[in-house]
């Protein structure tokens, strides 16, 4: 059985990942939090609500990575890049679910993953990853006659906007249409901003309450509209997805993989 360590162990996702790992019969070898976090030293299982595990939440990155086969990390891009570096030095696998990476940070992640197997994915749910595949086919079939707009909704504690999933949806559609996402993404319309261009992909963000995560891609034509929506009802399919990715990545060739690789959707 693989030994899993969780980074961001007291966070919304970290806690659910610990529960999912226990439910899947995996061994939790370590749990990491930021230095100074009030729950450092407490039992990771008790914090996650799945009973005592005998694993105290630690702030010692090196020791926790040393003791695991794979680190599952849902924190922030800067912390994930540091974790990738340490996993690289200790030749351990890593699964990263953090979002909000800049293109430069993603390039750095690919560089750091040259020597170890790593999964980096903005969304670990099966449903969203099937949507990515559908969006590619749909965009290719519809072509340039349909305007594409993306709307995402999340809870009021989310730090990055737009969501990593929405950005990936935009990238998938842009690539299928032969466009450069970074050139055509339009994040802001206000005042007399002119008519919509044909190429642009509009991106709107809603934040409020406890919404887990909702994404809709609109393909809007003349006289008809297609909407591809995904609604997360809990965080559990993200956490189960991360355990699936952790089991899959251990023993793979070094390199940066995503959830499409894990799920065999490529
Ligand atoms: N890929 C996916 O399927 C999903 C990705 N996410 C992403 O996961 C990330 C985390 O989301 P949440 O759990 O909601 O956030 P959160 O803020 O509840 O949890 C993050 C945790 O990381 C901890 N942390 C901060 N610095 C640290 C350090 N140096 N070492 C160890 N731990 C540290 C924080 O104290 C916090 O407990 C976000 O980027 C979010 O967008 C969220 C859900 C699904
Ligand atoms: O922060 C969240 O909560 C989520 N973040 C991910 C993202 O940014 O795409 C995935 C999910 O929608 C929840």
Q: Pick from 179, 157, 159: which is nearest to 170 by CA? A: 179
| Domains annotated on the chain, with CATH | 3-120+235-263 (3.40.50.720), 126-232 (3.30.360.10)
Residue to mutate, 10, 11, 94, ligand 1, most ligand atoms under 8 Å from C-beta:
11
**Euclidean distance between CA atoms 71 and 84, whole angstroms:** 9
Q: Is 22 helix (H, G, I), strand (E, B) or coil?
A: helix
**Euclidean distance between CA atoms 235 and 213, whole angstroms:** 9
* 129-166 pLDDT, tens digit each: 999 999 999 999 999 999 999 999 999 999 999 999 99
Whether cis (ω within 30° of 0) applies to the bond prior to 114 is: no
Q: How far is the CA of 236 from the centre of ligand 1 (A)?
A: 14
- Which numbered ligand comes closest to the C-alpha of 240? 1
158: annotated active-site residue: yes
Whole-structure pTM value:
0.98
* 225-239 pLDDT, tens digit each: 999 999 999 999 999
The answer to whether 256 touches 118, Cβ cutoff 8 Å, is yes
User: How far is the first Cα of the chain from the last one, in angstroms, to the nearest whole number?
Assistant: 27
């Amino acid at each position: 059985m693989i030994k899993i360590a969780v980074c961001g162990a007291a966070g919304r996702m970290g806690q659910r990942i610990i529960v999912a790992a226990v439910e899947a019969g995996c061994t939790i070898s370590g749990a990491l939090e930021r230095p100074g976090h009030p729950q450092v030293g407490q039992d990771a299982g008790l914090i996650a609500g799945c009973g005592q595990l005998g694993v105290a939440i630690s702030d010692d990155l090196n020791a926790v990575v040393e003791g695991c086969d794979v680190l599952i990390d849902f924190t922030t891009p800067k912390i994930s890049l540091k974790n990738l570096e340490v996993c690289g030095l200790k030749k351990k696998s890593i699964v990263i679910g953090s979002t909000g990476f800049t293109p430069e940070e993603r390039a750095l992640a690919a560089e750091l993953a040259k020597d170890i197997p790593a999964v980096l994915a903005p969304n670990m749910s099966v449903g969203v990853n099937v949507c990515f595949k559908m969006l590619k086919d749909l965009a290719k079939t519809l072509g340039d006659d349909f305007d594409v707009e993306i709307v995402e909704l999340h809870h009021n504690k989310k730090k990055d906007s737009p969501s990593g999933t929405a950005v990936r949806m935009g990238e998938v559609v842009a690539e299928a249409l032969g466009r450069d996402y970074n050139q055509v993404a339009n994040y802001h319309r206000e005042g007399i901003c002119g008519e919509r261009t044909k190429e642009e992909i509009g991106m709107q963000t809603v934040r409020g309450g406890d919404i887990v995560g909702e994404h809709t891609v609109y393909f809007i034509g003349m006289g008809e509209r297609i909407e591809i929506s995904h609604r997360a009802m809990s965080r559990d399919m993200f956490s189960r997805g991360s355990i699936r990715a952790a089991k899959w990545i251990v023993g793979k060739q070094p390199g940066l993989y995503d959830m499409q690789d894990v799920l065999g959707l490529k």
